[in-house]
């Protein structure tokens, strides 16, 4: 239900052009859960907001984003507004600060429903109570102000809001990053449960590979604006083929695994600045397995196994 073909997003700041997304293609079926992993500067958040055309004015976008067959990039503004939140919704990073502090929670939940007229005004209150119940909050919370809720509770409100117009796709951009592990577990349980029950497709964006591997069906790892490895979540996390994906996976040690006991592993260097990408393969300055070719030759995704592709020179075979 979601197809992204060769998406390019370039920000223009002053005189510089910053290529945030450099040719990303994805496929997502209804009810499927896709995880997008990556660190700062890899373009994952840009990808998320591009899906609903929420990019700032002046940003250069090319490629195709097909939401249920319709190209988001080609839509008229009226149609786009209708699609936003009803076709697909987003739970943003820093969602806890996305709530208006002077409006009660119930009113903010009602807002998208009233805007899109998906629910007749008489039924809105009922629906708000229903939504709160779905995320595990009691009905009287509708009268609370955001500051009266804890971080975890506010995040649940954001999720409830994302579900308000019964979208077919929910994009969660680092939705659980700032939460405690137990609250995170609660929220993830909730999200996957709701997604499964309602057949909602889910795009989960996070830097935490371990979380993504346990909640998503498929996983795509982004680096410097491209997908450098994609495949079944469990496979990509436990047997990554791209050196970056391997390095990232190693940053989330499994308790009980002797290999990581007193042996922290990380990658040297830092994630690249999108405005100043290295030539050739963007990962080569940090790569242990870099060879001469890596400096001049950027590699596209190559076939590793069923539904598993990685973009590294050390992998033979091209993906058609």
| 278-307: contacts with other proteins (CB under 8 A) | none
Among 78, 256, 316, 317, binds other proteins (CB under 8 A): 256
Q: Tokens for 112?
A: 């998208």
Q: Which of 102, 182 has the CB closer to other proteins? A: 182
**Spatial distance between the Cα atoms of 215 and 1, rounded to a whole number of angstroms:** 20
Strand-pairing partners, residue 21, are 9
Among 71, 270, 279, 318, binds other proteins (CB under 8 A): 270
Q: How many CA atoms lie within 13 A of 316 on its CB side?
A: 0
Question: What would the x/- binding string for other proteins be over residues 140 to 179, using CB under 8 A?
Answer: ----------xxx---------------------------
Cα–Cα distances (Å) from 259 to 255, 262, 264, in that order, read 10, 8, 9
**Interface with other proteins, residue 255, by CB under 8 A:** yes
Among 81, 97, 261, 297, binds other proteins (CB under 8 A): 261
CB of 157 to other proteins, least distance (A): 14
CB of 51 to other proteins, least distance (A): 23
Among 63, 253, 278, 285, binds other proteins (CB under 8 A): 253
> Residue 69: which residues within 8 A CB-CB, separation 6 or more?
none
Would strands 33-37 and 218-223 be described as parallel, antiparallel, or unpaired?
Answer: parallel
- Stretch in the footprint of other proteins (CB under 8 A) among 6-14, 111-119, 126-134, 249-257: 249-257
Q: Which of 37, 163 has the CB closer to other proteins? A: 37
CB of 270 to other proteins, least distance (A): 4
- Contact 24/226 with Cβ under 8 angstroms? yes
**Interface with other proteins, residue 262, by CB under 8 A:** yes
Q: Tokens for 117?
A: 């007229």
| 3-62: contacts with other proteins (CB under 8 A) | 39-40
Among 20, 28, 244, 281, binds other proteins (CB under 8 A): 244
- Stretch in the footprint of other proteins (CB under 8 A) among 15-23, 74-82, 158-166, 266-274: 266-274
**Interface with other proteins, residue 181, by CB under 8 A:** yes
CB of 267 to other proteins, least distance (A): 4
**Interface with other proteins, residue 259, by CB under 8 A:** no
Total residues in contact with other proteins, by rule CB under 8 A = 42
Residues within the interface to other proteins (CB under 8 A): 39-40, 150-152, 180-186, 189, 207-211, 213-214, 244, 247-248, 250-257, 260-268, 270-271
């Amino acid at each position: 239900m979601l197809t992204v073909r060769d998406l390019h997003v370039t920000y223009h700041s002053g005189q510089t052009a910053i290529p945030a997304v450099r040719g990303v293609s994805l496929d997502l079926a209804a009810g499927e859960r896709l995880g997008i992993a990556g660190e700062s500067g890899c373009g994952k958040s840009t990808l998320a907001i591009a899906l609903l055309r929420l990019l700032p004015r002046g940003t250069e976008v090319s490629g195709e984003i097909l939401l249920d067959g319709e190209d988001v990039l080609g839509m008229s503004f009226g149609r786009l507004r209708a699609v936003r939140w009803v076709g697909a919704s987003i739970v943003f990073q820093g969602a806890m600060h996305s709530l208006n502090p002077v409006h009660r929670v119930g009113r903010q939940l009602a807002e998208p429903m009233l805007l899109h007229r998906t629910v007749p005004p008489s039924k809105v209150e009922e629906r708000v109570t229903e939504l709160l119940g779905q995320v595990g909050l009691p009905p009287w919370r509708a009268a609370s102000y955001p500051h009266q809720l804890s971080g975890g509770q506010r995040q649940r409100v954001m999720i409830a809001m994302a579900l308000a117009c019964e979208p077919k796709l929910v994009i969660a951009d680092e939705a659980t990053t700032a939460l405690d592990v137990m609250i995170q577990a609660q929220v993830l349980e909730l999200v996957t449960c709701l997604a499964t029950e309602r057949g909602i497709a889910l795009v989960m964006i996070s830097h935490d590979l371990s979380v993504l591997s346990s909640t998503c069906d498929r996983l795509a790892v982004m680096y410097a604006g491209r997908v450098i490895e994609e495949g079944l979540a469990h496979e990509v996390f436990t047997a990554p083929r791209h050196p970056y994906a391997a390095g990232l996976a190693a940053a989330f040690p499994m308790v009980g695994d002797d290999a990581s006991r007193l042996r922290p592993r990380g990658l040297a260097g830092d994630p690249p600045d999108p405005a100043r990408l290295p030539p050739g393969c963007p990962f080569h300055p940090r790569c242990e397995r870099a060879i001469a070719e890596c400096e001049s030759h950027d590699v596209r995704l190559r076939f590793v196994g069923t539904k598993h592709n990685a973009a590294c020179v050390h992998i033979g075979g091209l993906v058609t």
